[in-house]
A and B are shown apart, each in its own frame.
Chain A
């Protein structure tokens, strides 16, 4: 199914919720809407679903305009942050409801419900009521019902946000297997860059009501077109350092010159971007060393995010594994000049680390 948004915008009274944007999510694949709260993700999804009418622009499905066509006349499945189920129906009937509405034969409904319940590990709860289940199980029921509908367009608005992280990890993996097995066009909103990367597919980065960039997820991550995209699509934040063009490279605060071949026509003032993962404790040949003092080491369980005050400013480094650093301990971080991003004065990308073999979405 090809969904197309043409210059779609939304204003409510004096406030702009969405600036006019055009987007055609790749059919049969997952498109992640990535952005902080208030970026406009939900507003955009409501327009895609037909719950809201855009103030400007057109919504097309397979080339036919559907702007203004109400949600019940469209074939869309939705999953929300809150676990929404029919409280008086059993889990079985909840999952079966879209199939019953579709008038499917009983035997087929039975088979489909059991199949989906098995995939989402809720088959033992089929005779229970939703209220008897945990939050994670209730959300599995809502997901199974949305999948049962087998709609050509499936919209998920931060479906895992209210779950514990281990449960989130598990369900995200199951969902992405289900998405790639089906042929629905899926749009999935999240505030977490890590979730977008784990889901893969395509990503549309949104910020303050604007669509900033759309493309294959890994490509958008590795080549953000602007500082705004880089900021929205990094966790921990990309380290940004103000620099000036100098002979043979870019001069950093403190006087150090980073050797770089700057593309011609660059402004004199530039911003260097260094991803936390590009900073290492260990030295390699050709590295630049940045000496500093540890402010805090945050440990995620798989990585240590160490915040270090250096002459070029405060930097965050992502070191794989668990490492303990005392507050105030000295620490040198190392990076290779080929790993930096360069943005011009207006924030547009000038230079990104060279692409290696990329994973296709």
Chain B
């Protein structure tokens, strides 16, 4: 197992000039030994490029990749001692489940008795002990992908295991079981695991630390809790959560926050000028019209989402959403309300970056 340090940028074009020429903009980050990480972002954000650079499938156009302080920028995946799991099963159909799991160990001449113990352990974790002697060919796509996961995890001495959207082919009702398995396995094996996905549920459930990416840029590296409570970038606020964070245009001026023609006293010291105020629907409370410190608004939509109410309010020409408990007083469309936008959970952004 290793600590991985990246200090690099990557462009698929020969002479990159603008930011848009880079698949990965200059970045500097570290993956700690034994951590569970997810790289999360929409398609085209650069997460697969980053994974390929770590695995050794791609040499970055600029900068270095270090494993435990040693420069590995041009090392092959074998030299880096990386295990990989892909979207689709990569297994030997003619071999049994046990032979498939044992293969990466046999290749490295691990003694037979050690192989037996390790294969048994991995099979038990994946609940495949009863299938060890079955041929892989007869198994379902789900089962085959479980073998792939097992092959990725079977070597105890790997630097890291990289997963590229490994649950794509898994049936939705089995997904949560496998997510639980992966989490347990990380707990027990203490391997460094790096998991690429565009699915926030998979990323937030699996990882202790999530790397959120957009347009070739890492916008936040943080715990799931931090991504929810203190998004470092407006993209994170928008992308994490459904619906995402409300982002309201405001101007900070002489101790006041201006919302169009309206103004409220700024709750804390903020940089002057155009800002965006971020508040999650979960934290936006509705108060009676005219309540002190609130922004006046009018209810435009009320939705019963079963376990909660989703209320859309038009405030100073901007639509914001509030999520209310199911037993909250039900507002009606057209009601005038006060929005408590300046709370403890409110975040402020300048040029899309968190400033307070």
Q: Which residue of B lies closest to A278 (CB)?
A: B307
Can you list 11 residue pairs at the A/B interface with Cβ under 8 Å? Answer: A193-B306, A198-B305, A198-B310, A276-B307, A298-B176, A299-B200, A299-B205, A301-B244, A322-B224, A327-B183, A327-B187
Other-chain contact of A357, B224, B310, B330 (Cβ < 8 Å): B330
Give min CB distance, A132 to chain B, whole Å: 15
- Check A359–B302 contact: CB distance below 8 A: yes
Contact B198 A298 (CB under 8 A): no
Q: Is the CB of A169 within 8 A of B243?
A: yes
Chain A proximity of B224: nearest CB distance (Å): 5
Shortest Cβ gap from A98 to chain B (Å): 30
CB of A253 within 8 A of chain B?
Answer: no
B308 / chain A contacts, CB cutoff of 8 Å: 277, 320
- Chain A residue nearest to B175 in the complex (CB): A298
- CB B63 to nearest CB in A, in angstroms, measures 30
CA distance A39 to B198 in the complex (A): 28
User: Is B240 an interface residue, CB under 8 A from the partner?
Assistant: yes
> Which residues from chain B contact A323 at a C-beta distance below 8 Å?
225
CB distance from B310 to the nearest CB of A (A): 8
The 8 A CB mask of B175-210 against A (1 = contact, 0 = none) is 010011001100100000000001111001100000
Given A295-B180, A301-B240, A327-B187, A321:B282 Cβ within 8 A: yes
Total chain A interface residues with beta-carbon distance under 8 A: 36
Q: Is residue B326 within 8 Å, beta carbon to beta carbon, of the partner chain?
A: yes
Bound complex: CA A295 to CA B200 (Å): 20
Residues of A with C-beta under 8 A to B204 = 299-301, 322
Any B CB within 8 A of the CB of A341: no
Report whether A300 and B242 are in contact in the complex, using a CB–CB cutoff of 8 Å.
Answer: yes
B205 touching A302, Cβ below 8 Å: no
Q: Known: A166-B42, A200-B303, A300-B200. Contact between A327 and B184, CB under 8 A?
A: yes
Q: Within the complex, which residue of A197, A301, A302 is in contact with B304, where a contact is CB–CB below 8 Å?
A: A197
Residues of A within 8 A of B307 (CB): 275-277, 318
The answer to whether B239 has its CB under 8 Å from any CB of chain A is: yes
Q: B223 at interface (Cβ–Cβ under 8 A)? A: yes
Which residues of B lie under 8 Å from residue A357 when comparing CB positions?
330
Q: Is A73 in the interface zone, CB < 8 Å from B?
A: no
Query: When each residue 274-315 of chain A gets 1 if its CB lies under 8 Å from chain B and 0 otherwise, what string results?
Result: 011100000000000000000111111110000100000000
- Find out whether the CB atom of A166 lies under 8 angstroms from the CB atom of B305: no
Total residues of chain B contacting the partner, CB 8 A: 42
Q: Within 8 Å of chain B (Cβ to Cβ): is A108?
A: no
Residue on B nearest A135 in the bound complex, by CB? B43
A301 contacts B303, C-beta separation under 8 Å: no
**Chain A residues, CB < 8 A from B47:** none
Q: Given that A322-B204, A324-B223 are known contacts, is A296 also in contact with B229, CB under 8 Å in the complex? A: no
Interface string of A35-61 (1 = CB under 8 A from B): 000000000000000000000000000
A302 in contact with B176 given A277-B326, A321-B228 (CB within 8 Å): no
Query: Chain B binding site: helix, strand, loop or mixed by DSSP?
Result: mixed
* List of B residues within 8 angstroms of A327 by Cβ: 183-184, 187
Hey, which chain A residues are within 8 Å of B180, CB to CB?
A: 295-296, 307
Q: Complex: how many Å from CA A356 to CA B325? A: 12
A301 B201 Cβ-Cβ under 8 A: yes
Taken residue by residue from 229 to 273, chain B's Cβ proximity to chain A (1 for < 8 Å, 0 otherwise) reads as: 100000000111111100000000000000000000000000000
With beta carbons under 8 angstroms apart, the residue of B43, B241, B309 that contacts A302 is B241
Residue interface bits B218-229, CB-to-A below 8 A is 1, else 0: 000001110111
In the complex, what distance in Å separates the CA atom of A357 from the CA atom of B332?
A: 10
For B282, the chain A residues whose CB sits under 8 A away are: 302, 320-321
Point out the residues of chain B lying under 8 angstroms from A295, CB to CB: 180
The answer to whether B229 and A197 have CB atoms under 8 Å apart is: no
Please indicate the chain B residues that have their CB under 8 angstroms from the CB of A247 in the complex.
Answer: none
CB A294 to nearest CB in B, in angstroms, measures 11
The reply to whether the CB of B327 lies closer than 8 angstroms to some CB of chain A is yes
Contact in complex: A299, B201 (CB < 8 Å) = yes
Residues of B within 8 A of A202 (CB): none
Q: Find out whether the CB atom of A296 lies under 8 angstroms from the CB atom of B183.
A: yes
Q: How far does the alpha carbon of A193 sit from the alpha carbon of B304 in the complex, in Å? A: 12
Docked-complex contact A218 and B224, CB < 8 angstroms:
no
Contacts of B242 in A (CB 8 A): 165, 169, 300-302
Closest to A191 in B: B172
Q: Taking the complex as formed, is B10 at the interface, i.e. its CB lies under 8 A from any CB of chain A?
A: no
The answer, among B43, B224, B305, B323, for a CB contact under 8 Å with A164, is B43
From 308 to 361 in chain A, residues with beta carbon under 8 angstroms from any chain B beta carbon are: 318, 320-324, 327, 356-359
Q: Can you name the residue of chain B whose Cβ is closest to the Cβ of A169?
A: B242
Q: How far is the CA of A204 from the CA of B42 in the complex (A)?
A: 33
User: Does the CB pair B303–A298 fall under 8 Å?
Assistant: no
| Chain B stretch 300-346: residues in CB contact (< 8 A) with chain A | 302-310, 323, 326-327, 330
Which of chain B's residues have a CB closer than 8 A to the CB of A197?
Answer: 303-306
CA A193 to CA B242, docked complex, whole Å: 14
| Docked CA distance A277–B228 (Å) | 19
Residues of A within 8 A of B201 (CB): 298-301
Residues of A within 8 A of B238 (CB): 166
A298: chain B residues at CB < 8 Å are: 176, 179, 201, 205
Cα distance, A313 to B220, chains bound together (Å): 39
Q: Does A70 lie at the interface of the complex (its beta carbon under 8 Å from any beta carbon of B)? A: no
> Which residues of the partner chain A approach B179 to less than 8 Å between Cβ atoms?
296, 298
Asked if A188 is at the interface (CB within 8 A of a chain B CB), the reply is: no
Q: Is A194 an interface residue (CB 8 A)?
A: yes
B58–chain A nearest beta-carbon distance, Å: 24
Q: Contact: B205 with A296, CB < 8 Å?
A: yes
- A197-B306, A322-B229, A324-B224 provided; 13 other pairs, C-beta below 8 A? A164-B43, A165-B200, A194-B305, A197-B304, A221-B306, A222-B306, A277-B306, A277-B307, A296-B176, A296-B183, A302-B243, A320-B308, A327-B187
CB distance from A214 to the nearest CB of B (A): 17
Bound state CA distance, A296 and B205, in angstroms?
8
What CA separation (Å) do A292 and B154 show in the bound complex? 32
